[in-house]
Amino acid sequence: MKMFLDIDGVLLTRQGGLSVGAEIFLRHIVDKHEAYWLSTRTNNGTLDGARKAFHGLLHINLIERIQPVRWTTLKTEALPFGTENWLWIDDELMFVERQQLEAENALGNFLRINLRKQPDILNTLRF
């Protein structure tokens, strides 16, 4: 499965620390799936923003096993609508992105993470 991962609010807390269970979750994802960064930190298609975000928090080899995807305005630009199985994990969904997911019959491919309500949610997720 293709996994599209946001960074802030999912793997990093609002305070900039690593989310509970983030490293184990990421190791599972990269071992079992095809993983992609879908974040404002990497929307230029490079890993520079991910490297900076996780500096001192995660080993660089783990960060680099996840490929960045390029997008300009909406994260949905990078999603593979009409293709194989995929999942987008994020803490926010803009109204227009939700509309596009609905139009593509792909709202079920989105998983919202709320670290404030469930700070250890990453410990429970395995795909």
pLDDT at position 126: 81
pLDDT at position 120: 94
Stated pTM of the model = 0.94
Low-confidence ranges of the chain (pLDDT < 70): none
Structural tokens at position 56: 């001192």
Q: How many CB atoms lie within 10 A of CB 80?
A: 14
Distance (Å, whole) CA 4 – CA 19: 17
SS3 8: strand
pLDDT at position 84: 72
Distance (Å, whole) CA 124 – CA 17: 19
